[in-house]
C-alpha cells in the first residue's frame, strides 16, 4: 500500500453545527493521521481560486457564497491510500446519494451544504495541501 496525503476541509455548515469533533473522530477511526490542521474563514478570492475548476458551472457563485459564509477547518491527512480512504469516508457529493455511515450521509444536508471536501487525486492533493499549508 502507498502512504499518501490528502486535503480534508470541514465546511461552514458542519463547523456551525459543532461537528468538527465528530468528523475528526471518524477520520481518526479510519486510520488517517492528522499531519496539519487550521481553522480559517476563506476570502472570496481564496474560495474562487480553490474552486476555479468549477468556475463555469451553474452552481459556482452559490458555492463561493456558501464557502465564504463562515469558518472552515482544513486538515492534511496521511495514511495508506489516504485519498481513496477519505473519499470513501466522505461518501457521494450529494448527501442524499451517500452510503450509510459516511460523513455526508450522517451530517450533510444537501449538495451545497455537504459538510466536507476531500482531494480527488494525488495531483490535486498536492496542490490543495500547498494551497493551505505552504
Ligand atoms: P466539493 O467536494 O467541495 O467540490 C465542489 C463542490 O461544489 C461540491 O463539493 C459541492 O458542495 C458543490 N456543488 C454544488 N452543486 C453541485 C452540483 N450540482 N454538482 C457537483 N457539486 C456541486
Instruction: Report which of 66, 28, 67 is spatially closest to residue 46, judged by C-alpha positions.
Output: 67
pTM of the model: 0.97
CATH number of 3-132: 3.30.70.141
- Which residues line ligand 1 at a C-beta cut-off of 6 Å? 54, 59, 63, 93, 111-112, 114, 117
The percentage of residues in the chain with a pLDDT greater than 90, rounded to a whole number, is 99
- The pick from 53, 59, 92, 118 for probing ligand 1's pocket by mutation, whose C-beta has the most ligand atoms within 8 angstroms, reads 59
Among protein residues, the one whose CA lies closest to atom 2 of ligand 1: 117
What tens-digit pLDDT sequence spans the chain (134 residues)? Answer: 789 999 999 999 999 999 999 999 999 999 999 999 999 999 999 999 999 999 999 999 999 999 999 999 999 999 999 999 999 999 999 999 999 999 999 999 999 999 999 999 999 999 999 999 99
Q: Establish whether 54 is a catalytic residue.
A: no
45-66 tens-digit pLDDT: 999 999 999 999 999 999 999 9
* Alpha carbon 119 to chain centroid, angstroms: 7
Amino acid at each position: 500500500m502507498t502512504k499518501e496525503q490528502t486535503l480534508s476541509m470541514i465546511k461552514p455548515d458542519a463547523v456551525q453545527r459543532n461537528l468538527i469533533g465528530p468528523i475528526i473522530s471518524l477520520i481518526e477511526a479510519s486510520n488517517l493521521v492528522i499531519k496539519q490542521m487550521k481553522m480559517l474563514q476563506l476570502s472570496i478570492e481564496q474560495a474562487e481560486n480553490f474552486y476555479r475548476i468549477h468556475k463555469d458551472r451553474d452552481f459556482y457563485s452559490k458555492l463561493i457564497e456558501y464557502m465564504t459564509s463562515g469558518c472552515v477547518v482544513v486538515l492534511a491527512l496521511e495514511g495508506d491510500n489516504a485519498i481513496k480512504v477519505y473519499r470513501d469516508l466522505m461518501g457521494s457529493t450529494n448527501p442524499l446519494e451517500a452510503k450509510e455511515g459516511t460523513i455526508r450521509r450522517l451530517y450533510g444536508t444537501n449538495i451545497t451544504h455537504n459538510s466536507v471536501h476531500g482531494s480527488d487525486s494525488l495531483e490535486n492533493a498536492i496542490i490543495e495541501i500547498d494551497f493551505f499549508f505552504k
